[in-house]
Amino acid sequence: MTGTTEEPADTGKAPPPAPGVLRTALRALAQRPGLSCVLALRGTAWATLAGTVVLLLALAATWPAFTEMQQEADLARRQEDSYAPEADNIGELQLVAACALPVLLGIAAFAFGVLHTAHSLAVTHVRPAAVGELWRRARRQAGRSAAVQACRGVLVGGLALAGALLWSLADVVLPAAEPVLGYVLLGLLVPAVVVLRVGLALAPAAAALEGLGATAALQRSWTLVRGAWWRTTVRVAPLAALTVTAYLMLRYAAEPADGAAHALAMAVSSGNTYFAYAVAQLAPVAVALSLSALLTLPFTHTALTVLYARRCAERGESPGGVGIPGSTPPPAP
């Protein structure tokens, strides 16, 4: 009554729960949508350009094989005979593909690493940062982030490849037991791949925000996910489903372009049907991959960064979690 103000009494109620990971990621993107879009456009444009150069070089390297196949097919047609490409030509195409695939995967790892770093820095920045500043900081960490992406891909892909080889070996060694044994291997392999992929999902964010190397970032992610595997899987699975669905829809939408790519390749190659068929198969896949990355990576990377910050907060840590709701560790009692 004398004009003095009384401090509100502590009601003892717990603070309201933080919004969900996916909702927080959407809010973060909505605050500065142009920033994420420009970063994604810059990264995917660079990766698409580099990948196109590699594909053009691979097609140039296989041109002699395609030319020989077309000449032999024309000769067989004039002689009214059937024709199938020789093993030497097929082997040459497979060799070029085996050399080009690691290069393309390396480009993807580099681009994804830089983009993930840039998006992680954007969502955890205390003050608004310009695209150029974020891009420069991400490029300085490009080697480390690419190594994280590559090591994670080798581990997950190697496990899946090992299972496929075991399945093939079972078909050769134990043909009678192959169906049952194959299902057993499939039942063991799929959960193992999922567990490994989810356990390493937070490695890029850890590398970007804590400055960890590849091995340390993978170990850090595994430690954060351990004990919260199901909760992490529930949040990572929709991100994977979003990426796969976007690619499949874009690939289906790009089917009408198969004919245009085939016609263009026929015109460039003077009617080489084998070359045109290869181009018609590669072009829509490349377009769908680039567009799906452009549309889904900003949200996916932001959500994984938010999830990383939440897992750190649950452990009483807050590295890199600045500015993310729910990323502040609870006060010590």
**What would the pLDDT profile of 239-254 be if each residue is shown by its tens digit?**
999 999 999 999 999 8
Categorize the per-residue pLDDT at 269 as very low, low, confident or very high, splitting at 50, 70 and 90: confident
For residue 227, give every residue at least 6 positions away whose Cβ sits within 8 Å of its Cβ, in sequence order, or none.
none
pLDDT of residue 40 exceeding 90, the answer is no
Which pLDDT value is given to residue 259?
Answer: 86
pLDDT of residue 319 exceeding 80, the answer is no
Q: Mean of the per-residue pLDDT values for the chain?
A: 82
pLDDT of residue 83 exceeding 90, the answer is no
Domain boundaries, the chain: 21-314
Predicted TM-score of the model (pTM): 0.81
Which pLDDT value is given to residue 177?
Answer: 55
Which pLDDT value is given to residue 236?
Answer: 92
pLDDT in tens, 180-224: 666 777 777 888 889 999 999 999 999 988 888 899 999 999 999
pLDDT of residue 170 exceeding 80, the answer is no
Query: Region 144-169: what's the mean pLDDT?
Result: 85
pLDDT in tens, 95-125: 999 999 999 999 999 999 888 888 888 887 6
